[in-house]
Structure 1
Amino acid sequence: MDGERAEELTDLVENSDLTGIRLWLAEHRPHEIADELARMPGREAIIPFRLLDKDRELEVFEELDPSQQQNILLGLRGTDFHDLLEEMEPDDRARLIGEAPAKIATRALAGLSPAERKMTAALLGYPEDSVGRYMTPETVILHRDLTVGRALEVVRARGADAETIYILPVVSDGRRMVGTITLSDLVVSDDDRILKDLVDVLAPRVRANEQVEDAARLIQEANLVSLPVVDSEDRFVGLFTFDDALEVIEAADSEDMARQSGASPVGDHYVSVGVLRLVGARSVWLMLLIVAATLTINVMQVYEATLEEVTALAMFVPMLIGTGGNVGAQSATAIVRALAVGEVRVRDLPGVIWKEGRVGLLLGFMLAGIALVIGSLLVGTDIAVVVACSVIAICTWAAVIGSSMPLLARKVGVDPAVVSSPMVATLVDATGLLIYFSIARMILGI
């Protein structure tokens, strides 16, 4: 169904059927339109975008990723360009301008009204991956000494200009953060109650310079609608909302998946990404991994005499290094995921190694039983015992390596996903062969 829809819009654009495009746009929701525009080249996407009604144009635009938004902006001229940016939410606009080329960024800032330019410049002053870059400054702020009745009047007067009013920050003098109160609590409370008696002083909050992914995970784990953001002096500066948090988590998970597969994250919609960009994203890691794989060749050369004496050992090399790589990849993936959601921390390294080491050992014993049977049937008991013992040792070692590398990477400031599955598998291949041939020498006396 989605493929038919995309093909239909593409055909309409290619045939310059403006009436058909308008009818198609009227029948679909903003997120559906945005998804189809993301699949199209920038020059083609601008045609249906410019045919959108003004009230839907902004909704569709804000559903697009910043790189796709840039393609749309390049096709707009004059007031259309500036009107679209003026109506955007400040946090969305700041991320767009922050990622845009200097030419577009300068033009965008110059065309904003003084108030919008001031808000955007303030957000751009925060680091790229900080909560400050993603928060919205358009909020309704309540003073703790207000009555409920007066607070509701403030919400009614200013709520239309705020991005969200479901969670309301409560401050003291100087905008110092006291806590939050929900709109529902305001509505059901007596008008003469004072906010300071109702405010949730234990409500989570984050500092504006903290990592945005950590804040997004907090929103997810605590089931929050929004999260207050404060500066270094605990003054309220904005709200980080759940819709932005979902986008951050999606982008972080996509990046981790790319790195775990041994590729650099692309970021854009897959359909719109060219072949050369995909090659560039994957080739660097593959070149590094193929160089690392030479360790395996070196190990084989060192034990060449052993292989010549007992050629049957070579039969089980693919099975052993494959099994070790799989066990290591499972451990690495589990720890990368646990790190991402905050289930483990760097200080948990000893406990993680102890747990994963035992997991690898038990898996090794299970797989060794299978290897012993297969080996006995194919090459005899002596070699089968070597293979079985090697499986136990390699599985234990692979689980330890796979679980410790992401934590050590986090310790030194490297993205844990970078050292996950492909890198772990490559390392386990080489070290697994060392274990295998060492055990063979000890048991077979060669």
Structure 2
Amino acid sequence: MSEAHPSADGLQSRRRRLEGLGTAELVELFGRLDSAERAVQFRLLQKDRAVAVFEDLDPRVQREVVDSLREEATTELFAALDPDDRAPLLDELPAGVAARLLEDLSPDERAQTMALLGYPEDSAGRRMSPQVLTLDEDTTVASALDRVRHAPESVETIYVLPVTGPRRRVHGVVSLRRLLVSDPEARVADLMVPAATVRATDSSEDAANVVRDGGYVAVPVVDTEDRLLGVLTVDDAMRVLEAADDEDAARVGGTEPLRRPYLSAPVLSVVRSRIVWLFVLILAATLTVGVQSYFEAELDAVVALALFIPLLIGTGGNAGSQAATTIVRSMAVGDVRTADVWRVLGRELLTGALLGFSLAAVGIAPAAWVAGWDIAAVLALTVVGVCSLATTVGACIPLVARRIGIDPAIVSAPFISTFVDTTGLVLYFSIAKLILGI
């Protein structure tokens, strides 16, 4: 029996195996399978588990699952999702399929989903849940708890409840724990605390940082007049930050993020994620070749200089990448802001100089043994200069990029490689001309 048409015993065996796995384990499993096998195993899940797993899959994997299901099953699965889980999937689906799925929703569900789609793709409005339970200021604790007990299952969270006044303006929040331990006759207004809110038009990453940094279970999402639109929960915030970290890590390494599990990504997608930066780095390498051609006479006079070119380029590139990675990460968690540029540059200049002196101290004797003390001195001074330049530039690029509205991770790797390779060689040959008199 072929894998595409497994036997009844084989299906039962797979079903029992799937039943023994948790939701997180199933999500990981489906991320590792090819589309055909994933379709077979997804159909073996019970409805409730299928919905729970589907919600946590990457949107591009979700699309492949949708493509593999019958129209009725797709409609049923789509309707079971929360509005904030539908929006990323709709971005991946063809327009015709998306329109059909929206048409099959109830008017209320369709309106909520369309409202989220009206916000920019990377905004907090796209990530929020509009299904939120609110309390009035004058509500008593007893009445509030009664509302919680009778809240529909579609409500995103009951652990933190926004307290609203006229026109749904947010006046504060109250936790379920506070309600449970308070006098049943107390007013909610006397128990609420000021709310940390985010705007629907804020970037999703900035909003997620508010949730993480404040240790909140959820934060209200409001419009420009502080009217409640929904809530951003901690689980959605963590997904946003995880995706942002993956994106930064990929771009610092000179690739585009795959936005899906590696093993489920088509090989052509992996190629596309890497090829652009390789072209950029090849163009950058031509500048290095140009510098070497310009100093060809010096290389002919002292051939030993060529021995250390790969070492200098590698050292400078690594030092610059270390600095850039540190600053990009520090910016992501809010430790460093663009206003800190001069403090950062001063620290990295000193750091680079100390790194350069340390490497020069260790390497000068071996270099002298290989090529003589004159070239060893050239190499030592160049290493100090290259490390100082590389760390300073590596720290400066992300800050400048953020200032002009570019993702720091996008420009760091290719620009550092280009600048450090080129300026490092110019510095190397200039010092050589000065010390060796060539």
1:352 shift after superposition? 0.9
Does 1:125 find its partner at 2:124? no
Does 1:310 find its partner at 2:302? yes
Does 1:165 find its partner at 2:158? yes
SS in structure 2 opposite 1:51?
coil
- The one-letter amino acid of 2:211's match is I
CA distance in 2, matches of 1:115, 1:58: 20
Aligned partner of 2:54 in structure 1 is 61
- Structure 1 unpaired stretches of 5+: 1-9
Aligned partner of 1:112 in structure 2 is 105
1:18-417 to 2 correspondence within 5 Å? Answer: 18-158=11-151, 160-201=153-194, 203-417=195-409
1:159 shift after superposition? 5.2
Whether the aligned pair in 2 keeps the contact of 1:325 and 1:426 (CA below 8 Å) is no
1:267 shift after superposition? 0.9
1:61 shift after superposition? 1.4
CA distance in 2, matches of 1:336, 1:124: 30
CA distance in 2, matches of 1:399, 1:162: 49
1:39 shift after superposition? 2.5
Aligned-pair Cα RMSD in Å: 1.7
SS in structure 1 opposite 2:375?
helix
1:297 shift after superposition? 0.5
Aligned residues: 436
- The one-letter amino acid of 2:421's match is D
TM-score (norm 2): 0.96
- CA deviation map 1:206-242 (0-9, x unaligned): 0001000111122222211111110111001111011
SS in structure 2 opposite 1:420?
helix
SS in structure 1 opposite 2:255?
coil
Aligned partner of 1:443 in structure 2 is 435
SS in structure 2 opposite 1:126?
coil
SS in structure 2 opposite 1:434?
helix
Aligned partner of 1:4 in structure 2 is none
- CA deviation map 1:288-341 (0-9, x unaligned): 110111111011011111111122212221211111111111101101111111
CA distance in 2, matches of 1:38, 1:121: 28
1:92 shift after superposition? 0.2
CA distance in 1, matches of 2:71, 2:417: 54
- CA deviation map 1:320-377 (0-9, x unaligned): 1111111111101101111111111112111111110111011111111123222222
CA distance in 2, matches of 1:129, 1:169: 24
1:132 shift after superposition? 0.6
Give percent identity, aligned residues only.
Answer: 46
Judge which range, 98-107 or 301-310, deviates more.
98-107
- CA deviation map 1:180-230 (0-9, x unaligned): 1111011111112111221111x3110001000111122222211111110
1:51 shift after superposition? 2.2
Whether the aligned pair in 1 keeps the contact of 2:284 and 2:417 (CA below 8 Å) is no
Tell me: CA distance 1:98–1:277, structure 2 relative to 1, closer, same or farther (3 Å).
Answer: closer
CA distance in 2, matches of 1:269, 1:21: 22
SS in structure 1 opposite 2:232?
strand
1:31 shift after superposition? 2.4
CA distance in 1, matches of 2:63, 2:273: 21
Structure 1 runs of 4+ aligned residues shifted over 3 Å read 10-16
Aligned partner of 1:3 in structure 2 is none
1:4-23 to 2 correspondence within 5 Å? Answer: 14=6, 17-23=10-16
SS in structure 1 opposite 2:153?
helix
CA distance in 2, matches of 1:48, 1:364: 56
Aligned partner of 1:7 in structure 2 is none
TM-score (norm 1): 0.94
CA distance in 2, matches of 1:363, 1:180: 50
